[in-house]
Amino acid sequence: AQLDTLDIVVLVVLLIGTVAYFTKGTYWAVQQDPYSSSLAHANGAKAGKSRNILEKMEETGKNAVVFYGSQTGTAEDYASRLAKEGQSRFGLKTMVADLEDYEYENLDEFPDDKVAFFVLATYGEGEPTDNAVEFYEFIHGDDVSFSSGKAADEKPLSTMKFVAFGLGNNTYEHYNSMVRNVTASLEKLGALKIGDAGEGDDGAGTMEEDFLAWKEPMWTALSEAMGLEEREAVYEPVFEITEEEDMSAQSDEVFLGEPNKNHLEGASKGPYNAHNPFIAPIAESKEIFHVKDRNCLHMEIDISGSNLSYTTGDHIAVWPTNPGKEVDRFLRVTGIDSKRDKVIAVKGLDPTAKVPFPSPTTYEAVVRYHMEICAPVSRQFIATLAPFSPNDSIKEEMTKMGSDKDYFQQKVSNLSVNISQLLEILSNGEAWSKIPFSLFIEGLHKIQPRYYSISSSSMVQKDKISITAVVESVEKPGAPHIVKGVTTNYLLALKQKQHGDPEPDPYGMNYALNGPRNKYDGVHVPVHVRHSNFKLPSDPSKPVIMVGPGTGVAPFRGFIQERAAQAKAGQDVGKTILFFGCRKKAEDFIYEQEWEQYKQDLGDKFEMHVAFSRDGPQKVYVQHKLKESAAEIDKLLQQKAYFYVCGDAANMAREVNTLLAQVIAEQRGVPESKGEEIVKSMRASNQYQEDVW
Ligand code: FAD
């Protein structure tokens, strides 16, 4: 029977609906891809994105996939490095895969002549990174089920070989729990682990060295398991860079730093998220330290009309721009200064290679807006750059730095230099013009938004987000440059601009404050909001105890602002205790007057304990103040008070945890181990919450 037109229309509509349902919107999402660009679409690089990893590997001729679960980009970077090394040293056909981009129900059909790598960061309290949540729930869940229907106890993954590396921080209780749990789950399901699962420790500052030390024995084990042979590593670029002679930087289709197509094509549109920032006006900005050589910024970011929303305790992400001074240095030392405005099209030479920024663009835009050029230098990157040195003696020096850990420490890490500062020193200013630009895209991180704990209450000011940020500036004796934090100095420059400062750029940093094509003109900054679990109790009559020295007080300003407003509105607000610490009352006691106001609003419900570490003969910290209030703290905890810690993860947060266990033990007359157990169970039930960095 013939189908008439109506039938066809109905069938097509049904088909579209079905495809949309089964692909969970994947094909649709391509439209919103942050890096989607006219060229990428034209050459088909983004077309037909499949969520079937086995199919993808088959189609592209891969025998190794490196999955990553990454929050800040480090795990993603390690994944790329492993993929590249596997290919260049061992001839593996590798691809990198974002865990979020694939489904896992068919991993039980993973061929036994292939291998899967998992590079997994642990986030916060032993949690998966945002992009790994689904995978983690699938593989670590109780009722894992594969499309073939094989049950967990039938060892459905018995044909799968895997390699694993975790990125964690030993100052957290659930150190590297992602890689540990995923490894255990994969093995339980029958997968064969190759080599040891590596663990990198950010807490000890040894992440990079842990990674380098882990990967050599891993490669040996993998070579044996797969019969690979090591060959002389030859550099193969991942990206093809084409200089577009007939396009100019003024052409409408050229990205000059716009984060995506939406921003390029005019007024940006929501929804605003981690792939699409809102260019927000800074409504207000001020300095809140009273001291010459250190800065702390308070800013009010206006999100009205953006459809962005936040709740008290969330984080705001600020998208930074590199300082002009370092952009210029980079372009100069790499020998591309004279063509900084040249239009380039960047394309992955392999269909699985993702270009980490939109194209066509210019060299300058890539360096200013997309690459983390100011960060510490990695030893492996130095080894990769060595063959492209300007002359043999520099090459020798680079090779030594790349292979000798201690020498690298002495010659590079101790100087706290970034990549172009280092290259400049090594070559005495001579340009390193042999380095392929692709190598920088591969070897340097994609610039990352920085998070700030929102320091306002969404109940009090739903359209204005407050930020409290200390400006990073580290002067190391013997180091050739002062290390200036990228984002905080960018914010400082914006503040100076807003105040019409006669000297808007005190360090000659020269940020491009107006943004690409003057789109950030006025005083604007690109942002998005990240929701967090750091929350006040829904019942305001519950007591809260907050520990937040330095900028750790940021979210608590929001908490207290909220409770003061509730009290003023006649609500029953419970005891609200804040432990704050800083160096000197006259210098960095931030929001001093505001706390007085909250005391008036909250009356005896608000209590503040302040520790000044440099005001008296003895150094006093929040920990001391907590001890002094032991009896009251324990009494409130027995009344189910919520306990919050915010700020320094490395020392303070850990010490407060230990101290609280001691306080509980002493006050209740139980052994310290019991005190620790109580704190643990408080954490499990969200009665103890941390927002630390
Ligand atoms: P970066 O450029 O990222 O540099 C950071 C540090 O790295 C520098 O201080 C320096 O010591 C070191 N460094 C940089 N380059 C080099 C080099 N070449 N060699 C050696 N060392 C180097 N901060 C706040 O002030 N307030 C908050 O409320 C706040 N909340 C946060 C909440 C969360 C969830 C997280 C994760 C972080 C939070 N932070 C907060 C920290 C904030 O995100 C930034 O990390 C901080 O502001 C520094 O950013 P930056 O871009 O200025 O510095």
pLDDT one-digit tens code per residue, 307-353 = 999 999 999 999 999 999 999 999 999 999 999 999 999 999 988 89
Distance CA 133, CA 25 (A): 18
Substitution site in 453, 645, 646 for ligand 1 pocket (most atoms within 8 Å of beta carbon)? 453
User: How confident is the model over 572-599, as a mean pLDDT?
Assistant: 98
| Crossing angle (nearest 10°) for helices 133-140 and 177-188 | 40
Give me the count of residues in the chain. 693
pLDDT for 40 beyond 50: no
Nearest alpha carbon, ligand 1 atom 17 = 376
The neighbour count for residue 232, using CB atoms within 10 Å, is: 6
Closest CA to 347 of 29, 44, 31, 76: 44
How many whole angstroms from 73 Cα to the centroid of ligand 1? 14
Distance CA 98, CA 35 (A): 15
Reported as a single tens digit per residue, the pLDDT across 391-418 is 999 999 999 999 999 999 999 999 999 9
pLDDT for 61 beyond 90: yes
Domain 544-692 sits in CATH at: 3.40.50.80
Residue 10 confidence (pLDDT):
52
Distance CA 588, CA 377 (A): 32
| CB distance 246 to 261 below 8 Å | no
Distance CA 165, CA 118 (A): 6
Residues 6+ apart with CB under 8 A from 518: none
Could you tell me the sign of the dihedral formed by the alpha carbons of 599, 604, 610, 615, in that order? positive
How many whole angstroms from 650 Cα to the centroid of ligand 1? 14
pLDDT for 60 beyond 50: yes
CATH topology of domain 239-268+323-443: NADPH-cytochrome p450 Reductase; Chain A, domain 3 (1.20.990)
| Residue 659, Cβ density class (10 Å: 0-12 exposed, 13-18 middle, ≥19 buried) | buried
User: How confident is the model over 418-429, as a mean pLDDT?
Assistant: 97
Residue 24 confidence class, pLDDT cut points 50, 70, 90: very low
User: How confident is the model over 500-522, as a mean pLDDT?
Assistant: 87
Residue 102 confidence (pLDDT):
96
How many whole angstroms from 413 Cα to the centroid of ligand 1? 17
Nearest alpha carbon, ligand 1 atom 25 = 469
Distance CA 355, CA 238 (A): 9
How many whole angstroms from 667 Cα to the centroid of ligand 1? 38
How many whole angstroms from 86 Cα to the centroid of ligand 1? 32
User: How confident is the model over 169-193, as a mean pLDDT?
Assistant: 94
| CB distance 362 to 342 below 8 Å | yes
Report the nearest atom of ligand 1 relative to the CA of 554: 28
How many whole angstroms from 677 Cα to the centroid of ligand 1? 33
Closest CA to 66 of 163, 185, 188: 163
Substitution site in 318, 507, 553, 693 for ligand 1 pocket (most atoms within 8 Å of beta carbon)? 693
Is this complex's ipTM strictly greater than 0.85?
Answer: yes
pLDDT for 22 beyond 70: no
Domain layout of the chain by residue ranges: 1-32, 63-226, 239-268+323-443, 296-321+449-530, 544-692
Distance CA 267, CA 327 (A): 27
Report the nearest atom of ligand 1 relative to the CA of 377: 18
How many whole angstroms from 573 Cα to the centroid of ligand 1? 35
How many whole angstroms from 485 Cα to the centroid of ligand 1? 6
Nearest alpha carbon, ligand 1 atom 52 = 485
Same fold, 63-226 and 544-692: yes
Parallel/antiparallel/unpaired status of strands 161-168 and 198-201:
parallel
Closest CA to 89 of 380, 353, 378: 380
Nearest alpha carbon, ligand 1 atom 7 = 485
Report the nearest atom of ligand 1 relative to the CA of 320: 51
Nearest alpha carbon, ligand 1 atom 14 = 375
Least confident of 74-88, 319-333, 421-435, 499-513: 499-513
Q: What angle do CA 507, 510, 514 make, to 5 degrees?
A: 140
Residue 152 confidence (pLDDT):
85
| CB distance 191 to 161 below 8 Å | yes
Distance CA 198, CA 384 (A): 22
> If phi over 0 gives left and psi between -120 and 50 gives alpha, with beta otherwise, what is residue 423?
alpha
For tokens 């952009």, what's the residue? Answer: 327
**DSSP structure string for 12-52:** HHHHHHHHHHHTTTHHHHGGG-TT--HHHHHTTTTTT--SB
Closest CA to 80 of 356, 301, 295: 356
Asked if CATH classification 3.40.50.360 holds for the domain at 63-226, the reply, yes or no, is: yes
Q: CB within 6 Å of ligand 1 — which residues?
A: 315, 320, 374-376, 416-418, 450-453, 468-470, 472, 474, 483, 485-488, 551, 554, 693
Residue 502 confidence (pLDDT):
72
Distance CA 693, CA 691 (A): 7
Distance CA 159, CA 116 (A): 11
The neighbour count for residue 227, using CB atoms within 10 Å, is: 7
pLDDT for 38 beyond 50: no
Distance CA 275, CA 428 (A): 39
> If phi over 0 gives left and psi between -120 and 50 gives alpha, with beta otherwise, what is residue 24?
left
pLDDT for 20 beyond 50: no
Closest CA to 547 of 487, 477, 621: 621
For tokens 């900005």, what's the residue? Answer: 285
Tokens of 190: 């029958």
First CA to last CA across the chain, in angstroms? 67
Nearest alpha carbon, ligand 1 atom 34 = 451
Substitution site in 297, 312, 487, 691 for ligand 1 pocket (most atoms within 8 Å of beta carbon)? 487
Distance CA 399, CA 270 (A): 48
- The average confidence (pLDDT) of the chain is 92
Least confident of 60-64, 118-122, 170-174: 170-174
| Active-site residue list | 453, 646, 691, 693
Nearest alpha carbon, ligand 1 atom 9 = 472
Residue 32 confidence (pLDDT):
34
Domain 296-321+449-530 sits in CATH at: 2.40.30.10
Nearest alpha carbon, ligand 1 atom 4 = 485
Report the nearest atom of ligand 1 relative to the CA of 470: 25
Could you tell me the sign of the dihedral formed by the alpha carbons of 116, 119, 123, 125, in that order? positive
Distance CA 130, CA 451 (A): 14
Substitution site in 289, 411, 451, 486 for ligand 1 pocket (most atoms within 8 Å of beta carbon)? 451
Closest CA to 385 of 399, 400, 403, 367: 399
How many whole angstroms from 496 Cα to the centroid of ligand 1? 20
Residue 387 confidence class, pLDDT cut points 50, 70, 90: very high
Closest CA to 474 of 466, 463, 485: 485
Compute φ and ψ for 545, nearest 5 degrees.
Answer: -120, 125
| CB distance 281 to 524 below 8 Å | yes
Could you tell me the sign of the dihedral formed by the alpha carbons of 393, 396, 400, 402, in that order? positive
Report the nearest atom of ligand 1 relative to the CA of 555: 28
Give the number of C-alpha atoms closer than 13 A to the C-alpha of residue 478, restricted to the C-beta side.
6
